[in-house]
Amino acid sequence: MDLNIDPNGIQPETANPNLVLTKVLSSTGMAFTNLGYQDVAGVMQHTQKDGWADGHNNYDWGQSNDWSIYYDILRNNKFVYERAEQLGYDLQKGVSLVMKSMVFGLITDLFGDAPYTAALNADEGGDENMFPVFDKQRDIYLGILADLETANTLLSKNKNEYNSTIEAADIYYQGDPVKWRKLANSLRLRYLMRLSVKEPAIAKAGIEEIAGDPTNNPIITTAADDANMPSWTPVYDVSESEYRRIKMCQTLVEAMRAGNDPRLGVWAKRVEIPIVMDETLPDGTDKIEDGKRYISPDILSKKGLTTADISLNPDYVGIPPSYTAPAAYNLSPDVNQAAFNPHVSWLSDMYRTFNSPLLKSRLLSGSEVNFILAEAAWLGWSLPETAETYYNNAIKASLETWGVGDAYADFIAQPGVAYDGTQKQIIVQKWIASWQAATESWADYKRTGFPELHTGPMAIKAAVPVRFYYMLSERNLNKTNVEAAMENLEETPYSQSEGANSAWSKPWVIQGTGKPW
């Protein structure tokens, strides 16, 4: 009698890998969006919170971050791969390698050295599997690139040549192997560019090979092929409280206002009641008239404020990074909760719904790929197009992604937006385009120092962090291997009393580069 078999359950030995694949894809989409919309968006000054803001605005993460959700995804993904291998399903194998690469890439981007080779093997027993060593960050990146090359081959057949399908399970591409192959090669470009400073020969050769042979290495170049997950999955907390907590950051708002960026009106609302400070007004004036709040200069001093504590923007107003009292910014009439602050921009209404066609988990885009190629061409590498062409294509793809493609001609012609031949401009525009995908702009910031970000008075350190802390449970249970990984981190003046396991200690990929500070 098989007492341990659930007659109503699915047995791993016979399960179709598609049953788990959807979970892998949806969990990955939610994980990336949670980072790119929440705390990493705060790090990269896309957004700020006006309440419960310590982690988001000020990087106060309790000296511990959690990677368990990412390893949970990888365990499920391992099942998909192993079952696909048993069944001879090359399509599922290729997709699984792409997802493995994406998630391990995220882990090493966030933390540095991490369990990789010996990870996911706890069911095999033995101390080496129960307490895995941490692979060096360089080796993880190289392993990812090798897996993606294998995926490129596995996904190279026509759809009708595969002996399996993933149409119903695939919430990214509905079973299209061509688009999955493009994603595999586009991820190769992402991680090759990660290595561009520390391993320039590897990065140069790899990017030139991919860009120079689109037949054998197709990539994502337009918004139509973006790796997205639709909004039916409850990624966003659309409760009234959470919706009104997250506001645009002043850093991003001012960068976009400078270029009359048409995406700003898609992502945020215009400020409901602008502030007008008029020196001709009698002292003590503070009134709302014709939809504007008029104040006399003395009002600020009476409230113990300066001009740095207000914005006179007539259209969009963001909260400064790590601001002392974000709930009170810009003369908020509700200093306790900022629930009804009419003097800062709220996010667009689509961020309180599930059904906006623009509300998606954004994993990799044609815009990102074109920005990577623009930077590679700027470095002088041999690519089919110029840096300017790729740069223009990147901006065009981003505008199309957000439904404002018709504004491209006017936008790209503006001073400050028109290509000026600098790496700074490429990365700053890529940072803007990475809205909702802030993990990518964080990696670029660490590598290049752009955009030039400055912390505010409430940040726990006077610089933007460059990694997540190793989680407390891992430090307790796998102490020897965690301590070995910590020895590979480079302490900086900002590490201070935290020691090696600091969010301001540098992982291998930026050691010796002089970046980002």
Residues 193 and 376 sit within 8 Å (Cβ to Cβ) = yes
pLDDT at 444 over 50: yes
Domain spans of the chain, in order of start: 18-218, 240-349
pLDDT for the residue 124: 81
CA–CA separation, 481 vs 118, rounded Å?
A: 12
Q: Over 175-194, what HEC string results?
A: CCHHHHHHHHHHHHHHHHHH
Summarised one tens digit per residue, pLDDT across range 488-512 is 999 999 998 899 999 999 999 999 9
Residues 252 and 42 sit within 8 Å (Cβ to Cβ) = no
Q: How many CA atoms lie within 13 A of 334 on its CB side?
A: 12
pLDDT for the residue 337: 57
Summarised one tens digit per residue, pLDDT across range 45-94 is 999 999 889 999 999 999 999 999 999 999 999 999 999 999 999 999 99
pLDDT for the residue 8: 45
Residues 496, 500, 506, 512, CA torsion sign: positive
| The two structure tokens encoding residue 103 | 């998630």
Residues 33 and 362 sit within 8 Å (Cβ to Cβ) = yes
pLDDT for the residue 15: 81
| The two structure tokens encoding residue 201 | 């020969």
Of the two residues 253 and 34, the one the predictor is more confident about is 253
pLDDT for the residue 52: 87
Q: Which CATH number fits domain 18-218: 3.40.1380.20, 3.10.290.10, 1.10.3720.10, 1.25.40.390?
A: 1.25.40.390
pLDDT at 424 over 70: yes
SS3 371: helix
Residue 43 exposed, middle or buried by CB count within 10 Å (0-12, 13-18, 19+): buried
Q: How many CA atoms lie within 13 A of 126 on its CB side?
A: 9
Summarised one tens digit per residue, pLDDT across range 354-410 is 778 888 899 999 999 999 999 999 999 999 999 999 999 999 999 999 999 999 999
Q: How many CA atoms lie within 13 A of 510 on its CB side?
A: 26
CA–CA separation, 143 vs 117, rounded Å?
A: 9
Percent of the chain whose predicted confidence (pLDDT) is above 90: 86
Nearest to 100 by CA among 71, 123, 129: 71
pLDDT at 7 over 60: no
